[in-house]
Structures are given as C-alpha cells and as structure tokens.
Chains A and B, each alone.
Chain A
C-alpha cells in the first residue's frame, strides 16, 4: 500500500530531518521508500518541505500527487498543501504554532502540541520526534518498536548517541498522547 507523506514548515524546524527519520523508520521496518527535498534557495526561517513515499512495492516518481499524510509544522504549510490531501487523509497540525484555523472536514485533523510534548520529554529539540510518535500511533503505518530502533540507530550512526534517551522519551510521549 503506497503512502504519500509531505512534511513542511520553517527552515530550521527539522523538517528535512523529520522526513529522513520517517524514511529510516520505513527502511528499517522493511518497506520501500523514496525521500525528495524541496531544494533551491531554502534558508533558515524560509519554508522547507520534503516528500516521503512508503510502499511494499517499487515506487515510481518520488513526488506526491494525492497526499495521504501532511505534517504541517507551520501555517504556510497548511496554506500550501491542505488542498492536496486526499479525502480521508491525515493532517497533523503543530498546534504549538498554529491555532484558530478552520480545516477541511473530509480529512482527519490531529492537533499536536509539539513544544509541550518536547518539554514534557525534557527534550526541547525533540518537537519533531514527538510529532513522529503521534504520526505512527494515529496512522499505524509503522510499528512503534521498529521506529524506536530506527531512530536510535540513526542518531548513533550520526554521532549523536548521547541524545538517544531524550529522543526516545520524545517519541514515546508523542506516541502515548494519542
């Protein structure tokens, strides 16, 4: 089953990393995936997005047409991508930044207070990982154990093993909240 995910927000919010982490989770749990960035004149404070496709089968284009899951870390992400969500799709909203908006009523809207969850996990930089916890719980696209192992492996391989405990805490809190 093909899942098309777009992850979007401000540059500096960990958008590209969030997409890479979701890709790692897919890879480590035995799925095929593609990850494709928005590239060009991207900068801190500007907008950034990446597209992840996950499937049991070969994936054709890495670009998304009908989005199954939108992870919106800021308001402009919703402006840009909400209309491309397929009916019945999932809209994960970073409610720490985005409030008082009216959403489409044919999609599942999940408001995630990522900053509060990160604080609860005592991991101020873990907002995006808490979001991944919420994502896998609500959509069931991957197992918690598989993602937990993959995220630990990713940070260990990238010389950031000292953050493993805090990152696992953020993942678990995001997962358990929903």
Chain B
C-alpha cells in the first residue's frame, strides 16, 4: 500500500527500487551512498531478492548483466570514484541492450576526492558513457520524493529502450530526510520479455538470439542511432519557473536547483525578473525548455557545485550560442540564494563576466 514515511534520500531510493520491482543489487559501498547498501542488506531479503556486495564496482556492474538478462530489475549505486569503474560495464550494457538502473550519489573532487557534497560528475555521467557510442538517459532528482518517483520511471525507460538509465543525485539529497509518499509494490513478471533467459522447453537448444548476431555493424549502427535519436526526442524533462518574462534565467539541477527556486522567489520580491530552468534530465539535455524563455533575456546563469561549470557547453548548444552564459560555481558548498540574486543583478547591470 502507498504510505507516508520519513526517510533519508539514499534509503528512500533503495526502498523505491524494491517497490518498483528491483530484486537484484550488486555493488560496493562508498560515502555518501553507503546507506543504499546498508538498507538493502536487510531489506532485500525481506522481499525475496538478492544483494551481493562485490569486491569492487566493476564486478558489481558486470554481475547485473546476468541478472538483467534473466529478466530481473537490477540496481547498482556508487559515488564518483566508483562510478568511474562503471564505465566499462556501461559500454557493455549499452552495446548489448540490457536494461539496468544505476545511481551516482555525487561527492567532491577528482581521484578519491572527499566525502562532502558536490556536482562534479555531470560530464562523467552525462557525456562519459563508455567506449563505442554508449549513451543513456540521466535523471536528476531534486528532493527525496523525486528519488522515489524517478526509480519507477527509470525502470520503465530502461525497459522501453533496453538501455541503462542513470540517476544522478548528490550527497545532500542522499543524506537528507524529507517526508515522502511511497508507492505500492509493483508486480513484475520476469518473463515478460522475449529476449531474457527462460527455462528451456522440449526441443529448444537455449542459444540466445538477442541483439544483432551476424548482421554486422551497419545494421547495429542504424538501430542504435535511431534509438538514441528517439530517446533524445521523447525523454527530455524539465521544470520551467517564471522564464517567459525573465531578464535572467538560472539553469540548475539537483540541490542547486532548489536554491535557485528560492532565489527566484527572493528576486521577484525585489522586482528582479529571475527565472529558472530546472533540468530533470541531464541527458537528453532539455533543449526544448529554452524555447520558452523571454527572447529579450539578458543572460543565462548556470548554477552548479563544480569547478568548471560542466553544464555550460550543453547550455550553449541548446541556445545555439545565441545568449550570454554566466556562472556561479560553488564546488563543495551548497550555492547561496542571495549570491544567485546578486549575480543576476550584476548580469542585468552588465558588470558580470561571461563564462
């Protein structure tokens, strides 16, 4: 039954995965994502599923492949350093057209980095992919409720396209508690797809004929190209707030977008026309959202907890470089709504430097 609860983002995401029908998890703990494993280590067996803590993230990701090909809804989660190890497996999962849901609870820094919050994995997750033209939908929750809601959505997208889906979240959303509504348990038939392994009937040889054996790369390329194009067209998700008359429009996702929402309220109360495009998918980048902006808008303000401003190239492409782009990049501290408003004022006054 749907029920109200108070949960941490990581635990809510784990419970939501089970309610969406996930019955297989393989992966490795890392702060700030450890609560996902901790929670599933007792909860998974209650619902009759399997959890395996593997020796590393690489193995965790490859174990998913078998479980998914047997029809199970599968999950692995990590933070940036572990997600780096996911990429080899991601290429395999994309190339073999295997549904899977993966999560990156972002933490700060390159190499091992630190355990505090950041949004420095945007490029790694959104454009990193793996070798050989791999691509997948990236969902960006901004609340504990969205961590829950996006889990079901992620499995539906993954199965619709036979492709992995990544939920790109961060330490703040993962560690914080909010009040949520959990959905009912979904009833998933693990034999619903013709491509998954099944018990053999008399006279069957058990040889898998999924994918494109013997057809060569041209047929494969045409098929995958059409699939990525369909995903790009159909799966853009965003939330636009007061953009149609805005002089400055923030672009943000996750925890930074919550701050920008507050900044829009504060700015509007002062008579400053600030708006917000909140990304709900980082890939496909919601280019359609930009068509709704006031054409006389003075600039776009990328707000992100990173060093480089990793969304900026995507923003420039989405606007065909027709609008100046500015940045407020706070790396390991949550952006400050007052600074967002001040930066917007500088953009309007013409005293802010473009990125």
- A residues less than 8 Å from B334 (CB atoms): 61, 63
Interface check B172, CB cutoff 8 A: yes
Closest A residue to B171 by beta carbon equals A39
Interface residues of B, count at CB 8 A: 20
Cβ A20 vs Cβ B177 within 8 A: yes
Interface check A10, CB cutoff 8 A: no
> At the interface with chain A, which of B82-90, B198-206, B254-262, B347-355?
B254-262
B interface SS class: mixed
- A residues less than 8 Å from B259 (CB atoms): 60-61
Interface check A33, CB cutoff 8 A: yes
CA separation between A130 and B32, bound complex, in Å? 32
Interface check A37, CB cutoff 8 A: yes
Interface check B179, CB cutoff 8 A: yes
C-beta contact mask, A55-91 vs B, less than 8 Å → 1, else 0? 0001111110100000000000000000000000000
CA separation between A120 and B176, bound complex, in Å? 34
A107 to chain B, nearest CB (A): 22
- A residues less than 8 Å from B116 (CB atoms): 40
A11 to chain B, nearest CB (A): 16
If A39-B31, A39-B32, A39-B115 touch, whether A62 touches B176 (CB-CB below 8 Å) is yes
Chain A stretch 106-154: residues in CB contact (< 8 A) with chain B:
none
Chain B stretch 1-52: residues in CB contact (< 8 A) with chain A:
4, 6, 31-32
- B residues less than 8 Å from A36 (CB atoms): 172, 175-177
A131 to chain B, nearest CB (A): 20
Interface check B337, CB cutoff 8 A: yes
Contact of A61 (CB < 8 Å), options: B32, B115, B177, B262? B262
Chain B stretch 237-275: residues in CB contact (< 8 A) with chain A:
255, 258-259, 261-262
- B residues less than 8 Å from A20 (CB atoms): 6, 177
CA separation between A157 and B176, bound complex, in Å? 20
CA separation between A24 and B4, bound complex, in Å? 11
Interface check A34, CB cutoff 8 A: yes
CA separation between A61 and B179, bound complex, in Å? 15
CA separation between A34 and B259, bound complex, in Å? 14
Cβ B175 vs Cβ A37 within 8 A: yes
CA separation between A27 and B5, bound complex, in Å? 9
Interface check A155, CB cutoff 8 A: no
C-beta contact mask, B158-183 vs A, less than 8 Å → 1, else 0? 00000000000000100111110000
Cβ B115 vs Cβ A34 within 8 A: no
Closest A residue to B261 by beta carbon equals A60
CA separation between A39 and B34, bound complex, in Å? 12
CA separation between A61 and B254, bound complex, in Å? 11
CA separation between A32 and B172, bound complex, in Å? 17
- B residues less than 8 Å from A40 (CB atoms): 31, 115-116
B89 to chain A, nearest CB (A): 28
Closest A residue to B179 by beta carbon equals A27
- A residues less than 8 Å from B336 (CB atoms): 65
- A residues less than 8 Å from B175 (CB atoms): 36-37, 39
Cβ B178 vs Cβ A61 within 8 A: no
Interface check A23, CB cutoff 8 A: yes
Q: List 21 A-B contacts (CB under 8 A).
A: A20-B6, A23-B6, A23-B177, A27-B4, A27-B6, A27-B179, A33-B179, A34-B177, A35-B177, A35-B178, A36-B175, A36-B176, A37-B175, A39-B32, A39-B175, A60-B258, A60-B261, A60-B262, A60-B337, A61-B172, A62-B176
Chain A residues at the B interface, C-beta cutoff of 8 Å: 20, 23-24, 27, 32-37, 39-40, 58-63, 65
Chain A to chain B: the 3 pairs with minimum beta-carbon distance, closest first: A60-B262, A35-B177, A27-B179
